[in-house]
Amino acid sequence: MEFKKILVRSLSGIIYIAIIVGCILLRSEGIAALTVLFGILATIEFTKITRGLHNHGLPVLLADIAGVVCLGLSFYGFPVLLWIACLLWRLVLELYTKDSDSLRNLSYSIMGQVYIGIPLCTMLGVSVFFGMPYLLLAIFMFIWLNDTGAFIVGCTFGRHKLFERISPKKSWEGFFGGLLFCLGFSLLFGQGWPGFFGMGHNIWIWFGLAFVVSVFATWGDLVESMIKRTLKIKDSGSMIPGHGGILDRIDSLLLVMPAAFLYIFMVWWLCP
């Protein structure tokens, strides 16, 4: 039974990574498709854990999905106008839901659109605005390296709790392990394939990106843990066999991407 679980987890993980890498290699069109895919799946899952999925709630769910997708694609220009229309549509829809707690429902909708849509927007923006689609591959790899390093070092040497109130298993040792993994590979990326990723040879810029990704990946994980703890659930879903829900997989990304986008913008502005 244990072998079967490991096999299922491994296969689903490989498929998940293959989809991400394949979309990034297709450049902006593929990243836009990944934005739409993540937006739809994450919004459905967020709705499920916050309000539940019901037939009578389908119009609201569709409005939220449309809002997230339009916000995610807003670097193309016109979709941001559609997002404003979706927001108006969502507010008007609440008049007809006949729910006693409309403010809570609207809060969940707006939070979902911001929490999911803005990170996806900045993910696409790295390709569309900066013209560096393959840099996303480095960012995803930093996230995965951070998770791997934190797990290995935390399980081996973890003694001091990082944020016990939210995530009792996380340790400072694990955090620094993940950070060291990212910093180590940033040296490899900067010296080995700077032209491919589009960030140049400056190792300090690579160190800065690795640091930003590692720190915000940890915070992203903690934010999702805070949401799940508030809702009294263990996993956000079971969409990815052996891994939980889609939000469990992209929780780090949801904070990493806006922070990485701002960092890349700062570098682009200061070092043209």
Tell me, yes or no, whether 82 and 176 share the same domain: no
Tell me, yes or no, whether 232 and 138 share the same domain: yes
- Please list the rounded mean pLDDT of every run of 10 residues in the chain (272 residues): 70 90 94 96 94 84 95 91 94 85 91 95 93 93 94 88 86 93 90 77 91 96 92 80 83 96 90 67
Whether residue 63 contacts residue 51, with contact meaning beta carbons closer than 8 Å, is answered with no
Tell me, yes or no, whether 139 and 254 share the same domain: yes
pTM across the whole model? 0.92
pLDDT at 140: 96
Name the domain boundary from 105, 131, 157: 131
Tell me, yes or no, whether 188 and 202 share the same domain: yes
Tell me, yes or no, whether 111 and 168 share the same domain: no
Q: What residue numbers bound the domain in which 193 lies?
A: 134-272
> Considering its fold, how many domains does the chain have in total?
2
Give the burial string for 108-137 (b: 16+ CB within 10 Å, else e). Answer: bbeebbebbbbbbbbbbbbbbebeebbbbb
Bridge partners for 161 per DSSP: 171
- Tens of pLDDT, residue by residue over 225-240, are 999 989 988 877 777 7
Whether residue 253 contacts residue 219, with contact meaning beta carbons closer than 8 Å, is answered with no
Burial (CB count <10 Å: 0-12, 13-18, 19+), residue 2 = exposed
Whether residue 223 contacts residue 87, with contact meaning beta carbons closer than 8 Å, is answered with no
Whether residue 146 contacts residue 214, with contact meaning beta carbons closer than 8 Å, is answered with yes
